[in-house]
Amino acid sequence: MPHALNELMRRGWLWQGQAESQTDVVSTGYAELDNALHGGWAKAALHELQIEQPFQYELQLLQSSLRWAQQQPQAIAWLNPPAQPHAHGLASYDLADCRHVVINATPQDALWAYEQCLQSGSFALVLGWLEQLDGSAVRRLLLAAQKHPQLAFVLTRQQQLDARAYSTRLRLRGHRVAQQPMLSISVLKRRQGWPLAAFDCAIKPRVEWRSRRQPSARILAGRW
């Protein structure tokens, strides 16, 4: 392949298509989103959730995925969450019967820490709250995610729609309709399909959280 094309792929500005194959997926728990994503979240892939600010129902959107991960022998990784997951709150939603590993990494180490989680094969699901990533960093994480049948999510602030190698890119906006919590979901990128205009999903009850200063004894937390 000519050097110029190699350089474009390295920067994440050009993505090489592959023949369509059957993808192993986990249901999102929301019929509308499952339909948009051809069955749900693909394993061995990298999914981006763009949010305006933390706690805009993005975690409720992932409850079904967290419950799936609980049934696996591996742990669940939380990298730089905006608040410490509360064990009692997780238990009330049947999410406490597995290991939760919370990693607090510096901005300089966060990308490396996320990559190590993906490469290790020790986690069924990896959640990372990261700053905006350039094309090279996203491709690096995608290659790591493809090593194991895991679920991998990157949560970022909303940004320009530059080319990135994410398998799925969603833009989320929380709001209410007649007191019912709703999540407006715009599909910016998906496998085997074009982007989709925003649609609403009725949100299920929220998971409880508490300050990062009060870690639970049931959750392993610390710096990487």
Residue 172 inside a domain? The answer is yes
Q: How far is CA 116 from CA 34, 123, 193, 215, in A?
A: 29, 10, 30, 23
Of 173, 209, 138, the closest CA to residue 61 belongs to: 173
* Of 131 and 69, the one with more pLDDT: 69
Q: Give the domain CATH number at 108.
A: 3.40.50.300
Give domain status of residue 3, yes or no: no
User: Quick check: 216 pLDDT over 60?
Assistant: no
Domain-located, residue 211: yes
Residue 48 has pLDDT above 90, yes or no: yes
Q: Do 128 and 154 touch, CB atoms closer than 8 A?
A: yes
- 189 forms bridges with which residues in the sheet? 169
Tell me how far apart the alpha carbons of residues 102 and 197 are, in angstroms, rounded to a whole number. Answer: 34
Which residues make Cβ contacts (< 8 Å) with residue 37, sequence separation at least 6?
Answer: 25, 28, 168, 187, 190, 191
Tell me, yes or no, whether 107 lies in a domain: yes
How far is residue 78's CA from residue 104's CA, in Å, rounded to a whole number? 9
Using one digit for the tens of pLDDT, what is the confidence trace for 55-90?
Answer: 778 888 998 999 999 999 999 999 999 988 777 767
Q: What is the pTM of this model?
A: 0.82
| 5 domain-assigned | no
Fill in the amino acid letter for 112.
Answer: W
- Residue 205 is predicted with a pLDDT of 62
- Residue 180: both structure tokens together: 């019912």
Written as one string, the DSSP assignment of 27-65 is --S-HHHHHHTTTSEESSS-EEEEESSS-SSHHHHTHHH
Residue 8, domain member (yes or no): no
- Report yes or no on 9 lying in a domain: no
| pLDDT at position 160 | 66
Residue 141 and residue 152 in contact, taking contact as beta carbons nearer than 8 Å: yes
Residue 211 pLDDT more than 50? no
Which of residues 6 and 56 earns the better pLDDT score? 56
Residue 127 has pLDDT above 60, yes or no: yes
* Total Cβ atoms within 10 A of residue 118: 25
- Report phi then psi at 49, rounded to 5: -115, 110
Domain assignment of residue 17, yes or no: no
Q: In 10 A of CB 191, how many CB atoms?
A: 13
Taking the C-alpha atoms of residue 198 and residue 200, their distance in angstroms, rounded to an integer, is 7
Range of the domain at 173: 24-223
Number of domains within the chain: 1
34 pLDDT higher than 60:
yes
